[in-house]
């Protein structure tokens, strides 16, 4: 190892980079950085004979492999093959294109471009880094700013953009010359859409072309052309026409920042109401209730999920939340995608829909009091992702269905909260009736709708493959197969892996031998990834020893290897009706880690001594080896416990567990734990074709709660232990008490309609008042109220102990002071982290730095919170899809339903039998649409005229459920019709 001294004659090769930046707090800083110019930065072409001699080596002597192929693909113009050098705009506009597997290989990414891209868009930068890392795409980052031939100093009066363009051209011309020196005839081609840059390139004899021209020369040009972002074409023709501005201009960043700082503006995440696309809300710290944002003007190009800055409107413009259902496709049905974007943004019909609200604002009631409204004045961060949807049939002209003419069409996203997206395509005919994936590129002031571009087609609407993939994309579930680097982390022996026979093996180090215990697992039928197993046995002193044994995943998944990284990104296993998307490769999840019966497995055990009253006498944690005696399903376990003729030790230990679990549950309930509810159903599939045949509501047995109680107990015990050991970094789970205002509406509804009083000052009070909400006539009412109460709750979240004060750790729903997730490491990443921390806490192994760094854990928590939520939503959406499918082709069934919500022009009905909610609009009731009177104070809707009905909140109604295809979203779902 030698360190290199810079030779004195190398001094001309040092230059300083000076730039000025402003910090978040508005300070302006002048930064001076040294830049050492060198001549040993390789071109990375396999053809090159010069560079390998000088190529750098790492401290361990390894050389970076050369990336660019010696025989790159060519086009007509460059038959000898070419390397591509995109500029920043090309990447900004068409990253999807570069990710395409049919073209775009051998690409040189310049450092100038990479840095600029990072400044412009971090997500795109990350995608690009992903491309560079994937070996098959052959992307190479060339650090042109550090090579003395290609370094470019900024001239006085030169803009930074011009300098960067010049740097790109200089690098491209160097590359061409360098390859020519190597006797190669490969062209290095600059891809740019900047007219000025292209002209200069031409005059300097640098090979360059526009992205569009380049793509046109490729096979499959039509499909690929669609993937270039819309804004790029506009970039060229921008000055041509003076567009009229439809939306108010956004404030400048500094104006927004100052405003937020001194409290005149507010920052928050923009949410759209699922029932009304023109109504959004935003929760800001300054107000207890969310601010309303009404109408296109005020929403001002914000899309659900964006981080925006809003300004509160004067009090005379305050309104009450809408009591009307407004659906985008119903109102803007006839818009022409190609049409001129002139005129007012608020169309006549939209205005009429909004008028209603202004009228309403006069009639005051406790509930209907006008709420503060706000308007969006700027976006801090767009949270645009890729959206799944389908092309609006009516926006496609007849000619385009056959021809190859490019035209604008509307894409209607599956997510109703996202406005329709305008995109230009040459393949409109082919895309009709398909599920397609699009990206939003921009939303300019002069465009009524956001503008996007096509990414790829998932397949025919309503085919299982397309719909499942759509669902996974929509909830951002990583469903691709595990890459090779991950599979390489698996044990070599594969399925033949066994717990080592000899207890001297390093795997046995510090493990307790619990193979002699009568351990069994209880799971849903057909469960393959068995996370947990239990045992209980009496102790001589009359107490019980109870053990919860959790699959020892952390033994197989070591911190910071590829598998761990992948799992931390996936965050959780996602369960769909017909599919499971694993967090860990199958081999681990369903075999090596899974606590299968009759075989020895590594486990992480929590062992308590409990007395007769189920109080904890002592607890200890240990890594162990266990051998499960049996894997029961809930039903089997229940049957065996109930069967008095079975008197073997295993059954008796289960009875002990059941006895203790009931006491534990009682204690928890006494402490104020809530039993909440969500409508859960299970789809039964035909075993051969896996077509759904029936829908059943889930049944809960005693054994379900047996397992649940002990898992809760284990989680709580572990939470205490890791918090003791690592008060800053322990990974915990909290459930914040819901703000009181969340319950205002429900409490009022219950009071007005049913005369119940809902108290919500503590979880115990809430639990008790929920228990009191019963109607002897209608047993389901209590469940209904619980379902509605659940929706008022905050969602539980993972966090790092150091980020919150101890009182904030509380889990509201479980009424526990401290809580974590420990019991399902096969399917949740948080549990895996907890395992590692617990292992360190009991001195089993030293803590890996990754599990110790607080900032890293915070990032992990943030990710798994999102993943966890998305997994739940995806699971529910999958059930909804299959419920729709199971109704398909069948006669309409009549079922009981309950009114969940009443609007002035419709109402929402929940059908417990299928666990689905459906919207019934007035215009669905009869034709012509009946007259109606809506009383928001008593939550009643009375119709007259063509059909007379009275609809009240919580009312039991008879509905006919049949399957309908929602023209708007293209989803098949349960449609409802009021009977009687």
Partner 1 sequence: MPLDTSSAYPLALLRVDGRRWNDLRRLHAAVRTQAAADGSAYLEMGNTKVMCTVTGPSEENKRRTAASTATGNTGGAGGGAGAGGAEVAVEIVVGGFSSVDRKRRGRGDKRIHELQTTLSKALAAALHTHLYPRSTIALSLHVLSQDGSLLAALLNASTLALVDAGIPMSDLPVACTAGLTSAASAADDPLVDLNAQEEQELPFLTLATLGDTDRVMVLVLETRVQAARLKDMVDLAADACKSVHKSLREVVRRRGEHMVEEGAVEKGASMAMDMDIDV
Site residues (CB under 8 A) for partner 1? 1-6, 10-11, 14, 16-17, 21, 27, 29-38, 41, 56-60, 62, 64, 111, 114-115, 118-119, 129, 132, 141-143, 145-146, 560, 849-850
The smaller minimum CB distance to partner 1, of residues 32 and 53, is found at 32
The smaller minimum CB distance to partner 1, of residues 3 and 777, is found at 3
Residue ranges with strand state E in 306-398: 307-312, 374-381, 386-391
β-pair partners for 538: 544
The smaller minimum CB distance to partner 1, of residues 37 and 949, is found at 37
- Token output for 14: 């040092």
Distance CA 412, CA 447 (A): 17
The smaller minimum CB distance to partner 1, of residues 57 and 241, is found at 57
The smaller minimum CB distance to partner 1, of residues 60 and 315, is found at 60
Please, are residues 42 and 51 in contact by the beta-carbon 8 Å criterion?
yes
Encode 687-739 in three state secondary structure.
Answer: CCCCCEEEEEECCCCHHHHHHHHHHHHHHHHHHHHHHHHCCCCCEEEEECCCC
Q: Which of 317, 867, 853, 156 is nearest to 559 (CA)?
A: 853
The smaller minimum CB distance to partner 1, of residues 9 and 316, is found at 9
- Token output for 769: 């008042």
The smaller minimum CB distance to partner 1, of residues 29 and 334, is found at 29
Distance CA 521, CA 549 (A): 9
The minimum distance between CB 308 and partner 1, in angstroms, equals 23
The minimum distance between CB 6 and partner 1, in angstroms, equals 5
Distance CA 864, CA 872 (A): 12
The minimum distance between CB 83 and partner 1, in angstroms, equals 16
The minimum distance between CB 56 and partner 1, in angstroms, equals 5
Distance CA 874, CA 691 (A): 19
Region at 356 (left for phi over 0; alpha for psi -120 to 50; beta for the rest): alpha
Q: Which of 20, 45, 17 is nearest to 106 (CA)?
A: 45
The minimum distance between CB 858 and partner 1, in angstroms, equals 16
The smaller minimum CB distance to partner 1, of residues 485 and 675, is found at 485
The smaller minimum CB distance to partner 1, of residues 129 and 900, is found at 129
Q: Which of 678, 679, 684, 686 is nearest to 696 (CA)?
A: 684
The minimum distance between CB 288 and partner 1, in angstroms, equals 38
3-class DSSP assignment, residue 121: coil
The minimum distance between CB 799 and partner 1, in angstroms, equals 22
Please, are residues 726 and 834 in contact by the beta-carbon 8 Å criterion?
no
The smaller minimum CB distance to partner 1, of residues 111 and 371, is found at 111
The minimum distance between CB 21 and partner 1, in angstroms, equals 8
The minimum distance between CB 890 and partner 1, in angstroms, equals 54
The minimum distance between CB 606 and partner 1, in angstroms, equals 30
Distance CA 82, CA 79 (A): 8
The smaller minimum CB distance to partner 1, of residues 142 and 819, is found at 142
β-pair partners for 422: 410, 451
The smaller minimum CB distance to partner 1, of residues 562 and 650, is found at 562
The smaller minimum CB distance to partner 1, of residues 253 and 358, is found at 253
The minimum distance between CB 250 and partner 1, in angstroms, equals 22
Distance CA 869, CA 891 (A): 35
Residue 6 CA, chain-centre distance (Å), reads: 49
Distance CA 968, CA 415 (A): 10
The smaller minimum CB distance to partner 1, of residues 116 and 327, is found at 116
How buried is 35 (Cβ within 10 angstroms: 0-12 exposed, 13-18 middle, 19+ buried)? middle
Please, are residues 40 and 56 in contact by the beta-carbon 8 Å criterion?
yes
The minimum distance between CB 28 and partner 1, in angstroms, equals 10
What is the H or E stretch that residue 676 is in?
none
The minimum distance between CB 170 and partner 1, in angstroms, equals 16
The smaller minimum CB distance to partner 1, of residues 65 and 540, is found at 65
Q: Can you list the pairs that 649-657 forms with residues at least 24 positions away whose Cβ atoms lie under 8 Å?
A: 649/518, 650/518, 650/520, 653/518, 653/535, 653/536, 653/537, 654/520, 654/536, 654/706, 656/536, 656/537, 656/538, 656/544, 656/546, 657/534, 657/536, 657/546, 657/706, 657/710
The smaller minimum CB distance to partner 1, of residues 317 and 853, is found at 853
Distance CA 423, CA 432 (A): 13
The minimum distance between CB 131 and partner 1, in angstroms, equals 12
β-pair partners for 965: 972
β-pair partners for 18: 32
Distance CA 295, CA 283 (A): 17
The smaller minimum CB distance to partner 1, of residues 30 and 492, is found at 30
Give the residue ranges of DSSP H helices in 571-648. 586, 634-642
The smaller minimum CB distance to partner 1, of residues 746 and 850, is found at 850
The minimum distance between CB 115 and partner 1, in angstroms, equals 6
* In the block, residue with structure tokens 């800001």: 284
Distance CA 708, CA 455 (A): 44
Q: Which of 279, 274, 313 is nearest to 296 (CA)?
A: 279
The minimum distance between CB 60 and partner 1, in angstroms, equals 7
The minimum distance between CB 853 and partner 1, in angstroms, equals 9
Q: Which of 954, 870, 966 is nearest to 924 (CA)?
A: 966
The minimum distance between CB 750 and partner 1, in angstroms, equals 53
* In the block, residue with structure tokens 């093996």: 505
């Amino acid at each position: 190892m030698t360190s290199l001294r810079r030779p004195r004659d190398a001094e001309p090769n040092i230059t300083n980079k000076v730039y000025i930046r402003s910090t978040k707090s508005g300070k302006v800083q002048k930064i001076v950085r040294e830049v050492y110019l060198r001549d040993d930065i390789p071109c990375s072409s396999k053809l090159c004979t010069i560079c390998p001699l000088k190529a750098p080596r790492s401290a361990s002597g390894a050389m970076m492999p050369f990336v660019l192929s010696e025989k790159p693909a060519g086009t007509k113009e460059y038959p000898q093959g070419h390397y591509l050098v995109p500029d920043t705009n090309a990447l900004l506009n068409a990253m999807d294109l570069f990710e395409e597997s049919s073209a775009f290989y051998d690409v040189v990414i310049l450092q100038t471009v990479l840095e600029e891209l990072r400044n412009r868009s971090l997500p795109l930068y990350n995608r690009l880094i992903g491309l560079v890392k994937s070996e098959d795409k052959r992307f190479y980052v060339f650090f042109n700013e550090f090579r003395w031939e290609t370094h470019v100093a900024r001239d006085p009066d030169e803009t930074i953009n011009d300098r960067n363009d010049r740097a790109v051209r200089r690098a491209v011309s160097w590359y061409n010359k360098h390859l020519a020196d190597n006797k190669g005839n490969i062209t290095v081609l600059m891809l740019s859409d900047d007219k000025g840059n292209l002209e200069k390139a031409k005059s300097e004899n640098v090979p360059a072309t526009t992205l569009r021209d380049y793509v046109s020369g490729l096979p499959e040009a039509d499909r690929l052309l669609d993937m270039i972002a819309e804004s790029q074409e506009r970039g060229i023709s921008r000055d041509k026409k003076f567009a009229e501005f439809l939306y108010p201009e956004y404030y400048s960043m500094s104006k927004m920042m100052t405003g937020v700082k001194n409290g005149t503006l507010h920052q928050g995440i923009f949410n759209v109401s699922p029932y009304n696309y023109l109504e959004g809300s935003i929760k800001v710290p300054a107000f207890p209730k969310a601010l309303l944002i009404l109408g296109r003007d005020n929403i001002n190009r914000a899309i659900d999920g964006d981080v925006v800055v809003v300004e509160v409107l004067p009090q005379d413009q305050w309104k009450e939340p809408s009591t009307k259902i407004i659906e985008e496709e119903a109102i803007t049905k006839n818009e022409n995608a190609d049409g001129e974007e002139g005129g007012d943004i608020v169309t006549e019909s939209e205005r009429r829909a909004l008028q209603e609200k202004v009228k309403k604002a006069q009639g005051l009631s406790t509930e209907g009091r006008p709420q503060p409204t706000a308007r969006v004045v700027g976006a801090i961060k767009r949270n645009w992702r890729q959206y799944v949807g389908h092309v609006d049939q009516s926006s496609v002209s007849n000619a385009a269905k056959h021809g190859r003419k490019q035209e604008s069409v509307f894409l209607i996203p599956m997510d109703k909260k996202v406005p329709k997206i305008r995109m230009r395509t040459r393949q409109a005919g082919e895309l009709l009736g398909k599920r397609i994936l699009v990206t939003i590129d921009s939303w300019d002031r002069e465009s009524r709708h956001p503008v996007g571009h096509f990414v790829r087609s998932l397949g025919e609407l309503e085919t299982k493959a397309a719909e499942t993939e759509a669902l996974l994309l929509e909830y951002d579930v990583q469903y691709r197969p595990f890459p090779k680097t991950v599979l390489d982390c698996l044990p070599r022996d594969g399925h033949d892996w066994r717990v080592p026979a000899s207890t001297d093996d390093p795997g046995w180090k510090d493990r307790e031998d619990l193979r002699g215990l009568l351990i069994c697992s209880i799971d849903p039928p057909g469960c393959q990834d068995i996370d947990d197993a239990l045992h209980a046995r009496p102790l001589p002193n009359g107490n019980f020893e109870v053990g919860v044994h959790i699959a020892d995943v952390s033994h197989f998944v070591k911190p910071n290897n590829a598998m761990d990284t992948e799992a931390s990104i996936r965050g959780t296993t996602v369960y769909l009706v017909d599919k499971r998307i694993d967090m860990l490769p199958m081999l681990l999840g369903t075999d090596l880690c899974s606590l299968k019966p009759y075989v020895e497995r590594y486990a992480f055990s929590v062992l308590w001594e409990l007395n007769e009253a189920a109080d904890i006498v002592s607890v200890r944690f240990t890594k162990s080896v266990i051998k499960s005696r049996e894997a029961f399903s809930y039903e089997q376990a229940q049957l065996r416990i109930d069967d008095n003729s079975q008197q073997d030790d295993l059954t008796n230990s289960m009875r002990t567990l059941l006895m203790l679990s009931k006491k534990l549950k009682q204690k928890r309930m006494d402490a104020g734990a809530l039993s909440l509810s969500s409508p859960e159903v299970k789809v039964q599939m035909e075993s051969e074709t896996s077509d759904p045949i029936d829908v059943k509501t889930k049944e809960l047995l005693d054994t379900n709660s047996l397992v649940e109680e002990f898992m809760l107990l284990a989680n709580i015990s572990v939470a205490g232990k890791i918090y003791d050991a690592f008060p800053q970094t322990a990974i915990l789970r909290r459930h914040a008490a819901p703000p009181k205002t969340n319950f205002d509406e429900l409490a009022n509804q219950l009071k007005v309609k049913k005369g119940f009083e809902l108290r919500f000052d503590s979880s115990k009070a809430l639990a008790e008042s929920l228990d009191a909400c019963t109607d002897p006539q209608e047993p389901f009412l209590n469940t209904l109220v619980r379902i509605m109460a659940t929706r008022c709750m905050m969602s539980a979240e993972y966090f790092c102990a150091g980020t919150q004060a101890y009182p904030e750790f509380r889990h509201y729903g479980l009424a526990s002071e401290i809580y974590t997730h420990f019991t399902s490491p096969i399917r949740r990443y948080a549990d895996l982290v907890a395992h590692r921390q617990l292992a360190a806490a009991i001195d089993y192994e030293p803590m890996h730095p990754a599990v110790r760094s607080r900032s890293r854990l915070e990032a992990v928590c943030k990710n798994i919170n999102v993943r966890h939520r998305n997994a739940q939503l995806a699971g529910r959406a999958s059930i909804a899809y299959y419920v729709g499918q199971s109704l398909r082709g069948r006669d309409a069934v009549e079922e009981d339903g309950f009114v969940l919500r009443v609007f002035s022009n419709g109402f929402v009905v929940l059908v417990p039998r299928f666990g689905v909610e459906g919207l019934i609009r007035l215009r669905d009731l009869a034709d012509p649409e009946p007259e109606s009177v809506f009383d928001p104070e008593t939550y009643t809707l009375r119709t007259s005229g063509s059909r007379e009905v009275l609809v009240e909140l919580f009312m039991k109604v008879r509905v006919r459920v049949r399957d309908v295809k929602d023209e708007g979203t293209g989803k098949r779902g349960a449609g409802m019709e009021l009977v009687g």
